[in-house]
Amino acid sequence: MKIKILLLISTLFIFVGCKKQEKTLSQKLEYEDIKVKEVKFYQNNPKYANYSFDINIQLPKIISDTLFKDFRKTIIEHIFNVNSDTININLAINNYIQEKSDAFQEPGVDRFMNKANQYKLWSNLNCKFIYNKDNLCSYKIFEDNFTGGAHPYQEVYYLNYDLSLNKKLNFEDIFIPTSIDDISLKEMLINQLMKQEKAKTISDLNLFDVESPKDFKVSQMIYFDSLDIVFAYAQYDIRAYAYGAPEIKLPINLLTKYFTEDFKKRFIPTKK
């Protein structure tokens, strides 16, 4: 009898031990990398200015006909700023290149025909996943352009997505409404920025119209990075172009009181 019981226990132990834990959607996510390089010439003449495109886009693969289909579509819509029923990335890229090329090809721009000082214009588009864990994703869309102005310009956008709800997460889905005016949060952001920049005073940061933390803007463009949340600012958003696009990183454990209850319940584990 004892031998039978021991055998039964051993069998149950082996069964439980061998049983694989079901994968999260984050673990099921697979990636597709799309790369496109193309050069256009002003008035289609190689002797004149050229406009180069360097496009690198990482997308989720569609699994089992529907899994990640909406997520992929949402990413494409945000990259190209369109509302579309299509998930054809090649068509979206071709339309992007065509739209920019059409503006470049408009006649009468004499500086593009100067053979002694040819313009080299560009649009570089880089889009990729920067966080994917426990069904929460952060995705970066970065565009670097030079279209003949005083200097290049960059645009950056971060998309946060809940895989289990199949839903884009806006700032208000993560943070309570009072967060953007919270003085303690503003102080944390200012202090961290000073630490990052090795600044001794707020004035050393050369921020626009900020004399104290209460004047500071809490960015609603955020992304997740391991144990941190990064508050991202666009160029010219809080200070001059020369400083680039500032980002301020704060530990998640310092921000939990600002999270919505739904977000905490879904993504912030409670201590037992």
Classify the C-alpha dihedral 145-149-151-155 as positive or negative: negative
- Cβ atoms of 59 and 89 within 8 Å: the answer is yes
- Give pLDDT, residue 13: 41
For the beta sheet containing 247-251, the strands, ordered from the edge strand earlier in sequence to the opposite edge, are 222-225, 228-232, 247-251
Sign of CA dihedral 89, 90, 95, 100: positive
pLDDT above 90 (res 150): no
**Tens digit of each residue's pLDDT (9 = 90 or more) over 54-85:** 999 999 999 887 889 999 999 999 999 887 66
Mean pLDDT, residues 83-90: 77
Find how far residue 66's CA is from the centre of its chain: 23
Chain length of the chain: 272
Could you tell me which CATH number the domain at 173-267 has? 3.90.640.20
- The answer to whether residues 155 and 126 touch, using CB atoms and an 8 Å cutoff, is no
- Please give the Cα distance from 36 to 52 (Å, whole number): 11
Architecture of domain 25-169: 2-Layer Sandwich (3.30)
Q: What are the boundaries of each domain within the chain? A: 25-169, 173-267
Burial letters 113-122, b for 16+ CB under 10 A, else e: beeeeebebe
pLDDT digits (tens, 9 = 90+) for 107-138: 666 677 776 667 889 999 999 999 999 999 99
- pLDDT number for residue 128: 98
CA-based angle 246:248:250, to the nearest 5?
170
Q: What is the pTM of this model?
A: 0.87
| Sign of the CA dihedral with 196 first, then 202, 206, and 210 last | positive
Tokens of 29: 């996510």
Mean pLDDT score of the chain? 87
Most confident range (mean pLDDT) of 38-42, 96-100, 171-175 is 171-175
